[in-house]
């Protein structure tokens, strides 16, 4: 049997007096989860911030200690892949370590972009350990001002 | 060195106990490597986005403080789509047990990594003691 579950429908509320409370509790839970859980993290190195303007997407990642030659960036019609290897040069072999928190290793990440891009005009910069990839949007996916006649 | 491993995501460590702050925004503890040789203590810290002029290194009473401010690199007209990391000030403090020659401290900042060389005072470097036999 199918019930019409309209929140304002009096018969529905009367049928289950706790349903409304239950719904409220679920909403509160969701609200708390949003606060408590951190931002969505894909779990793939490096962490990325993606922003957009009308013309471009901007993709940024923190890659301290890396040089341009350690990085490989490729673009397709709607994604950008970043891969490379972070190397930490070996120090004097007599050195005794007190702390060793910085990590070296390989990584590879593909970032899907919300719209079509122009893969030929992608530019990347590495400054002070921050990688910035400027990804121009394809003509078709740029917002267009439409004049009303 | 053996086959290099995959890099895992490590979330930026936000400073747990905050002193009263005068600047808004989050504060992070940078990852560091510290190693010691007979002559010096070397500290390497990952401080992406910190420029040389906004990096502050202070050593007094055996306490080394590193503060690096990061200017947001986003332009005003950019809209966020996906934000996985935040930027903010880097702060970390160390207590040094060895006596450091303050006049010969060297700091180098390259590609977002700070390399700090703290030479030990001459008398603190171990000396080989010759044992005389009668």
More confident residue, A93 or B32: B32
Locate the DSSP E strands across chain B: 13-14, 27-29, 32-36, 40-46, 50-60, 63-70, 79-83, 89-95, 106-110, 113-119
The DSSP letter of residue B9 is: P
CATH architecture for the domain at B26-72+85-123: Sandwich (2.60)
Identify whether the C-beta of residue A44 lies closer than 8 Å to the C-beta of residue B10. no
- Does the pLDDT of residue A15 top 80, yes or no? no
Q: What is the mean pLDDT of chain A?
A: 83
Per-residue 3-state assignment (H helix, E strand, C coil) for A52-111 = ECCCEEEEEEECCCCCHHHEEEEECCCEEEEEEEECCCCCCCCCEEEEECCCCEEEEEEE
- Does the pLDDT of residue B1 top 50, yes or no? no
Tokens representing A114 are 């919300």
Identify whether the C-beta of residue A55 lies closer than 8 Å to the C-beta of residue A137. yes
Residue A45 in contact with partner chain B when CB distance is under 8 A: yes
Mean pLDDT confidence for A54-80 = 92
pLDDT for the residue A102: 92
- Does the pLDDT of residue B127 top 70, yes or no? no
Give the least confident one: A66-70, A142-146, B44-48, B127-131.
B127-131
More confident residue, B113 or B134: B113
Contacts of residue A132 in chain B, CB cutoff 8 Å?
A: 73
**Cα-only R_g, chain B:** 19
Residue B40 in contact with partner chain A when CB distance is under 8 A: no
- The Cα–Cα gap between B84 and B5 comes to 23
Contacts of residue B81 in chain A, CB cutoff 8 Å?
A: 50-52, 57, 114
Specify which residues A48 forms β-bridges with. Answer: A61
ipTM of the predicted structure? 0.78
């Amino acid at each position: 049997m199918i019930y019409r579950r309209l929140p304002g429908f009096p018969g529905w509320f009367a049928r289950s007096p706790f349903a409304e409370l239950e719904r409220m509790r679920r909403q509160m839970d969701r609200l708390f989860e949003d606060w408590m859980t951190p931002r969505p993290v894909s779990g793939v190195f490096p962490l990325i911030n993606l922003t957009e303007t009308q013309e471009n997407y901007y993709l940024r990642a923190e890659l301290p200690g890396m040089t341009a030659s350690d990085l490989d960036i490729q673009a397709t019609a709607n994604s950008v892949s970043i891969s490379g290897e972070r190397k930490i040069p070996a120090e004097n072999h007599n050195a005794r370590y007190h702390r060793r928190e910085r990590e070296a290793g390989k990584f590879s990440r593909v970032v899907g972009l919300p719209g079509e891009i122009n893969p030929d005009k992608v530019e990347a910069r590495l400054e002070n350990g921050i990688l910035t990839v400027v990804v121009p949007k394809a003509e078709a996916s740029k917002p267009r001002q439409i004049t009303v006649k | 060195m053996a086959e290099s491993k995959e890099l895992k995501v490590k979330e930026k460590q936000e400073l747990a106990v905050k002193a009263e702050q005068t600047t808004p925004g989050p504060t992070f503890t940078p990852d560091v490597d510290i190693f010691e040789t007979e002559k010096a203590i070397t500290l390497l810290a990952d401080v992406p986005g910190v420029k040389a002029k906004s990096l502050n290194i202070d050593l007094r009473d055996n306490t080394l403080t590193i503060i690096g401010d990061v200017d947001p690199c986003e332009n005003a007209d950019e809209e966020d789509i996906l934000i996985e990391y935040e930027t903010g000030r880097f702060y970390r403090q160390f207590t040094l047990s060895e006596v450091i020659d303050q006049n010969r401290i060297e700091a180098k900042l390259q590609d977002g990594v700070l390399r700090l060389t703290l030479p030990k005072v001459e008398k603190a470097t171990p000396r080989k003691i010759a044992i005389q036999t009668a």
